A and B are shown apart, each in its own frame.
Chain A
């Protein structure tokens, strides 16, 4: 036996940290080097793999939602990673498409613009968007919020929703976006809520719900928090650091009041 095992490996049940790995001399054992490499490869693939919107379009259509594909001003994945400023602005083609869409809508402006962006994890978007939206729609129906077509955006940063939301005249914009993948969480979805979206708004004026995925924050909890924040945002006319998420005081006691009513 050339590998030294760690007798405290039973402490692994207290943490997902890579403890008790054992060693081969000074090095990590073969199995651990390869496990790490696989985790990193999955995270890299989540960043670099282009998203396939087709199944998401179908699923949203089954929920009664129309969609519109748009793109940021970043021309490819490499530029997207180097130039976050371009990921925050619409391409010229998409800007014109949204202007046309807003003209079709006429004076009936949406309460909420929902933008789904690939962000830094196409895997996170593919794995969680439909489950999240299925859980969220009952809140929308119950509250009677008017939605624009759901925007499906390539090479998107969170702030892309500001320009899109402004053009469509939404009272608020909800951005669902693939989060920067961690080694143990390559498939995480983040949700950002911004009241009165417009170009140049600060990140401090948004609310964020992070780590929505099967092994993270559940869809029920994520959508409950979203609906709570959205209702408060409409009531108080703001989002951001001044809109504190107190929804946990509600969720522990009873099911969401908006849904059950």
Chain B
């Protein structure tokens, strides 16, 4: 039982699960699930009660029973008490104060990750303002490598997302050229395929591999299909760089994606076995997003942000190159408007980073959400300031296959110019070498000798 006296009223919360849910900043998905605070005052009272909970309590009270859920078992069984020791005496509120203090150096914050559970991190995020989520995340440095180096402070990568509604190869190639000419693609060149057919998937993998090898691009490719399909593709000799999978924070939501922890392990081992990384072996790409557990009816009465943080406990077992929270894709019944999407994006980035993950964000919205490109500008700027590892780059921010809006190649240029963020160093050097950028990383005037321009002319012919 958790109790707090606030504003002349005594509020009680029977479980940690209930307390976390009621302390969450307002969003439509928690109302839909029936777990949200019923008044603004109760929401703040829950934050007050939560601030006084010792971090140790999170190791004693599971929000989803150990016996009932393999993600809970993963969280408890892999908890590192030594890494936890420096903060083990703190409450949630004291942890916030410490994180934002000068004492919490990037080295100390980054070293905490194995000692933190998703629920601890979710809890502290709930009592933070948006600006706290920016500065807190900025202290957690997570660097990963495959064919380039992603996550160095002061750098930000971009996934080039060249989707096409019928997987038309010329259409996809046209979008890839466009993105590369705008200096995007260092995180990954990643296609959401329209088809899940193995032959079609393999064709796309071969096509991207050809482009990467032909122009000697220090980056990696990915076709975002089910992990079991990618395992089959590897077995048939397809050029797979990264293994993709959507994941969630409970056993049930993962089951709804048709995936188990064993599948993920098998996928990673398959990709490692073909040794295609040149500077590192982070070979997994995960996507997540608040609301997926409720959508799959697998949320166990928890709030959607806490469940989302638990997805990161799954991700970190597999040493991913990239983890992408696709924040506004799910729709207004989970995140209603720009304010809720912005908040959720900052929470997800903060929680993932503290848990030791290379967090990126698909800063996005659908046309039935109360949001527009101005809201995305705000989230982009704040995530850029928070040290986001990567964002999406989509032609004109308009994904013609998935029918939603994200960030454009131009948006990436904007945030680089506004905040001075650089690309992955190997990729930045390559862009300069072939003449897309000048030596300072700015787009150069189009020069006839640029091999990508020659390629574009050949494509058009």
- List residues of A whose CB falls within 8 A of some B CB: 4, 6-8, 10-21, 23, 25-28, 32, 36, 39-40, 43-44, 46-47, 81-85, 120, 180-186
Contact = CB atoms under 8 A, between A and B. Distances in A.
Contacts of A20: 178
Nearest to B394: A17
Contacts of A13: 460
Interface string B141-182: 000000000000000000000111000101111110110011
B396 A180 contact: no
Given A8-B453, A11-B178, A17 B405 contact: no
A89 to B, nearest CB: 14
Nearest to A84: B333
Contact of B400 (A7, A8, A16): A16
A180 B395 contact: no
B132 to A, nearest CB: 28
A40 B372 contact: yes
B414 A81 contact: no
Given A17-B394, A47-B368, A120-B368, 6 more contacts: A11-B174, A14-B459, A17-B396, A18-B408, A23-B413, A82-B333
Contacts of A85: 32
A23 B170 contact: no
B200 to A, nearest CB: 16
Given A8-B460, A17-B171, A182-B400, A82 B367 contact: no
B413 A15 contact: no
A6 B331 CA distance: 34
A32 B396 CA distance: 8
Given A47-B367, A83-B32, A84-B333, A17 B177 contact: no
Contacts of B446: 4, 6-7
Nearest to A211: B165
A8 B181 contact: yes
B332 A81 contact: yes
B395 A17 contact: yes
Interface in B304-324: none
Given A82-B333, A183-B405, A185-B403, A18 B398 contact: yes
Contacts of B410: 21, 23, 26-28
A7 B456 contact: yes
B28 interface: yes
Contacts of A81: 332-333, 336, 368
Given A8-B178, A40-B372, A43-B367, A15 B164 contact: yes
Interface string B347-388: 000000000000000000011100011000000000000000
B196 interface: no
Contacts of A23: 182, 410, 413, 443
B232 interface: no
A182 B403 contact: yes
Nearest to A120: B368
Interface string B402-421: 01110010100110110000
A15 B396 contact: no
B397 interface: yes
Interface of B: 28, 31-32, 162-164, 168, 170-175, 177-178, 181-182, 331-333, 336, 366-368, 372-373, 394-398, 400, 403-405, 408, 410, 413-414, 416-417, 443, 445-446, 453, 456-457, 459-460
Given A17-B171, A19-B178, A11 B396 contact: no
A147 to B, nearest CB: 31
B398 A17 contact: yes
B395 to A, nearest CB: 4
A180 B403 contact: yes
Given A11-B177, A15-B400, A180 B162 contact: no
20 contacts: A4-B446, A7-B446, A7-B453, A8-B457, A8-B460, A11-B177, A11-B459, A15-B168, A16-B400, A17-B178, A17-B400, A19-B395, A26-B416, A28-B396, A39-B398, A81-B332, A82-B332, A182-B367, A184-B398, A185-B403
A10 B417 CA distance: 28
A183 B181 contact: no
Contacts of A182: 367, 400, 403-404
A13 B408 CA distance: 20
Contacts of A14: 168, 170-171, 173-174, 459
A6 B333 contact: no
Given A81-B332, A85-B32, A182-B400, A18 B414 contact: no
A14 B163 CA distance: 12
Which of B172, B397, B445, B460 lies at the interface centre, i.e. has the most chain A CB atoms within 10 A of its CB? Answer: B460
Contacts of B170: 14-15
Contact of A180 (B366, B416, B453): B366
Contacts of A28: 396, 408, 410
A254 B403 CA distance: 33
> Which of B175, B333, B403, B405 has the most CB atoms of chain A within a 10 A radius of its CB?
B403
B433 to A, nearest CB: 20
B28 to A, nearest CB: 5
B25 to A, nearest CB: 16
Contacts of A12: 174
Contacts of B174: 8, 11-12, 14-15, 17, 19
A-B residue pairs, 9 tightest by C-beta: A18-B396, A182-B403, A15-B171, A26-B413, A8-B456, A11-B174, A19-B178, A43-B367, A17-B395
A186 B395 CA distance: 19
Contact of A18 (B367, B395, B457): B395
Contacts of A120: 367-368
Contacts of B417: 25-26
Nearest to B161: A17
Q: Which of B177, B400, B413, B417 has the most CB of A within 10 A?
A: B400
A25 B367 CA distance: 28
B178 A6 contact: yes
A11 B456 contact: yes
A27 to B, nearest CB: 6
Contacts of A82: 28, 31-32, 332-333, 336
Nearest to B405: A183
Contacts of B414: 26-27
Contacts of A10: 460
